[in-house]
Chains A and B, each alone.
Chain A
C-alpha cells in the first residue's frame, strides 16, 4: 500500500501578526511555524494504517514551501512516515490552492498512490480546496471532512462529519483522496528515539519549477486586520487587580 500525506507548515496562530511590505501576506520574520493542525490527523491516520497492515505500507510525506518546511516533514517522519519530499518553493505562500494542487498532482501522477491524505483545510488560508482539486486533477474519488476511517481489504468505510454533529457514513474503494477533519484520531507525539531515527530518513528535494504547470486563478489584493467594531472592552494589568474589577462587575450585573 502506497500512501501520500500532504503536510503544510503554517504560522503559529497565536502569533501577533504583522503585514509584509507588499501588503498581501504576513511578515514571516519572528514568526514560529508548525504543522497545520488538520494535517497532524492525516499523518496519524497513515501511520495507523501502516501499523495495521504488516510490512507492505510505504508512507511519503510531501510539503511545498521554503527550506523551513523540512522541519514539518521531519516531524511527520518522526511520527512514522517513511520518506520525505520537499518541493522547494520560496514563494509558496503566494501560490493559490489551484497551483498547490497542480504541484501535488504532478508529483503523484506517475506514482500509483493508493491513498492520498490531506487536511480538510489549512489554518492560515482555510480554503479547503487543495485536497478536492488534487483528486479532480488525478481523476480519482475524494471523500472530505472525515472523522472515522476504517480500511478493510481495499475498501474504506468512513464517517464524514456534518453540521450539528451528525455523521454521514460512506463507502468507497481505492485509490482515493481523503481530507481529514479534527478529531479523526489522536495524533501521537514523536518519541525521542523516533525523532533520532527520522534523521536518517531521506528527504528528497524537488524544485517547484519541475512540477508547477498552472497559473493562479486568484489574486490577493490585500491582507489586513479586521476593523474592531463592537470590540470588547479590553482589561489589562495585574491579575489580582483584574480579578477585583471583574468580580465587582459580575456582582453588579447580578451574575453572582
Chain B
C-alpha cells in the first residue's frame, strides 16, 4: 500500500493537517510520499519523498496548476491512494484529481479497515461503509479523525518544475476573519444558541440563562448567518475555538464544524428534542426537551 499525501499551505505556512495525513499513513502502515505547493521552509518533517512546487511561482490558489503538479507526482509514485485533508482545499482539489484519474473519491473518511472506509452522513447522525470500485482511489480525511504523526524526520525534497502559469480563476487576496468584540476563548461558562431555539425573538430566553450562570452567549453558524446574533458569538471551525468549564448547547445538532470549536469544554450540557442528535456523542448530559420550555424553567430554578 502506497499513499501520496497532499499537504496544504496557506499564507506562508504549512497547515497542521499535514501531520494528520502522515498519521493516517502510519495507521495504515503504508509507504508514503508527499506533494505540496509550498515554500522550502514549510515542508513537513517526515521520512518521505516530498515533491515540492514553489507556491510563490505557482500561486497558493491555482487549481489548474495544482492539479497538474499533483497528477505529475502521482504519475511518478503510482500510489494506491491520493489523500487530502477534508478541508476547503481538500474538497476543492480531490474531485479534480479523481476526475482526471477516473478514480473513486471517498470524502470525509473517519476510519479505515482493509479497503473499507467509514464516512459520516445525514449531518453526522449516521455512518456509511464505502468501498471503491476502482483500483486507484482518492480520499479526504476528516480533521481530527486520525492522530497526528510526530513531527520528525528528514524529507527528501524533489523539486518539481513549476512554471508560473495563470489559471482560469485567480487569487486576488485574503480577508481576515472579522474582529471579535467578545473573547469567548476566556469565558468559563458559555451558553450557546442553535437553530433549535426557533427564532431571533427567543434569544433573550437563552441570554437570561447565560446571565444567571455568569457566562457568555455563543452561537452556531446558522444563527449568525440568519442575523440573530453577531459573528463574534460564533463557535466552531469558522468561528471561535472555546474551552469553558461549562458549555450549554441549546437546540444545537452537533455538526462536526461546531464540535471542532467546543469539544474541549470540561462539561457539556445539551438540550435537544432529538435524543439521537450527534451532540449526544460528546455531551456529558443530554436533556431531551423543547429548549423554549426547558431553558426558562432551568433559569428560574437557578434563581431560587
Q: Which A residues contact B (CB, under 8 angstroms)?
A: 11, 13-14, 16-17, 24, 26, 97-98, 120-121, 123-129, 132-133, 136-137, 141-145, 157, 159-173, 176, 182-183, 186, 215-226, 228, 230-236, 239-240, 242-244, 246-247, 249-251, 253, 255-256
Contact A234 B286 (CB under 8 A): yes
Query: Per a CB cutoff under 8 Å, which of A26, A144, A171, A217 touches B122?
Result: A26
> Chain B residues with Cβ under 8 A from A239's Cβ?
289-290, 293-294, 297
> Chain A residues with Cβ under 8 A from B279's Cβ?
232
Contact A218 B132 (CB under 8 A): yes
Interface flags, B77-111, vs A, CB<8A=1, else 0: 00000000001100110111011101111111000
Q: Closest Cβ of chain B: how far from A74's Cβ, in Å?
A: 24
Contact A13 B123 (CB under 8 A): yes
Contact A247 B302 (CB under 8 A): yes
How extensive is the interface on chain B, given as a class? 35 or more
Contact B121 A125 (CB under 8 A): yes
B175 nearest CB neighbor, chain A only = A167
At the interface, yes or no: B172 with Cβ under 8 Å from chain A?
yes
Contact B128 A124 (CB under 8 A): no
Q: Which chain B residues (173-206) contact chain A, with CB distance < 8 Å?
A: 173-178, 189
At the interface, yes or no: B129 with Cβ under 8 Å from chain A?
yes
Q: Which chain B residues (265-302) contact chain A, with CB distance < 8 Å?
A: 267-270, 274-276, 279-290, 293-294, 297-298, 300-302
Given contacts A168-B171, A232-B286, contact A243 B298 (CB under 8 A): yes
B239 nearest CB neighbor, chain A only = A165
Given contacts A132-B99, A217-B103, contact A255 B281 (CB under 8 A): no
Cα distance, A166 to B174, chains bound together (Å): 7
> Chain A residues with Cβ under 8 A from B133's Cβ?
215-219
A243 nearest CB neighbor, chain B only = B297
Q: Closest Cβ of chain B: how far from A105's Cβ, in Å?
A: 11
Contact A129 B105 (CB under 8 A): yes
> Chain A residues with Cβ under 8 A from B227's Cβ?
186
Cα distance, A163 to B239, chains bound together (Å): 9
Stretch at the interface among B29-37, B46-54, B150-158, B218-226: B218-226
Cα distance, A233 to B285, chains bound together (Å): 5
Contact A220 B129 (CB under 8 A): yes
Given contacts A220-B130, A256-B212, contact A182 B221 (CB under 8 A): yes
Query: Per a CB cutoff under 8 Å, which of B169, B267, B281, B284 touches A141?
Result: B169
A235 nearest CB neighbor, chain B only = B287
> Chain A residues with Cβ under 8 A from B178's Cβ?
165
Q: Which B residues contact A (CB, under 8 angstroms)?
A: 10-11, 15, 61, 63-64, 87-88, 91-92, 94-96, 98-100, 102-108, 116, 119-123, 125-134, 167-178, 189, 212-213, 221-222, 224-227, 231, 234, 237-239, 245-246, 253, 267-270, 274-276, 279-290, 293-294, 297-298, 300-302, 304
> Chain B residues with Cβ under 8 A from A242's Cβ?
287, 289, 294, 297
25 contacts between A and B (CB under 8 A): A123-B123, A125-B121, A129-B95, A136-B96, A136-B100, A157-B172, A161-B88, A161-B238, A165-B178, A167-B174, A168-B173, A186-B225, A186-B227, A218-B104, A219-B130, A220-B130, A221-B129, A225-B127, A225-B276, A232-B285, A235-B285, A236-B289, A250-B302, A256-B212, A256-B302
Cα distance, A135 to B178, chains bound together (Å): 31
Query: Per a CB cutoff under 8 Å, which of A137, A231, A246 touches B298?
Result: A246
Contact A217 B102 (CB under 8 A): yes
> Chain B residues with Cβ under 8 A from A145's Cβ?
88, 91-92
Assuming A141-B168, A242-B287, what are 4 further A-B pairs, CB within 8 angstroms? A129-B94, A133-B99, A234-B280, A244-B301
Contact A133 B238 (CB under 8 A): no
> Chain B residues with Cβ under 8 A from A233's Cβ?
284-286
Contact A218 B127 (CB under 8 A): no
A161 nearest CB neighbor, chain B only = B238
Cα distance, A171 to B168, chains bound together (Å): 9
A216 nearest CB neighbor, chain B only = B133
Contact A231 B281 (CB under 8 A): yes
Cα distance, A173 to B297, chains bound together (Å): 55
Contact B301 A126 (CB under 8 A): no
| Nearest 5 pairs of A and B residues by beta carbon | A165-B177, A247-B301, A243-B297, A132-B95, A172-B169
Contact B130 A143 (CB under 8 A): no
Cα distance, A217 to B293, chains bound together (Å): 48
Cα distance, A182 to B221, chains bound together (Å): 8
Given contacts A26-B122, A136-B100, A224-B126, contact A144 B174 (CB under 8 A): no
Given contacts A126-B107, A256-B213, contact A26 B134 (CB under 8 A): no
| Max chain B Cβ within 10 angstroms of own Cβ: one of A97, A145, A230, A234 | A234
Query: Per a CB cutoff under 8 Å, which of B10, B225, B245, B274 touches A182?
Result: B225
Cα distance, A220 to B188, chains bound together (Å): 44
Contact B96 A171 (CB under 8 A): no
Q: Closest Cβ of chain A: how far from B233's Cβ, in Å?
A: 13
Cα distance, A26 to B35, chains bound together (Å): 38
Contact B105 A97 (CB under 8 A): yes
> Chain A residues with Cβ under 8 A from B294's Cβ?
239, 242-243
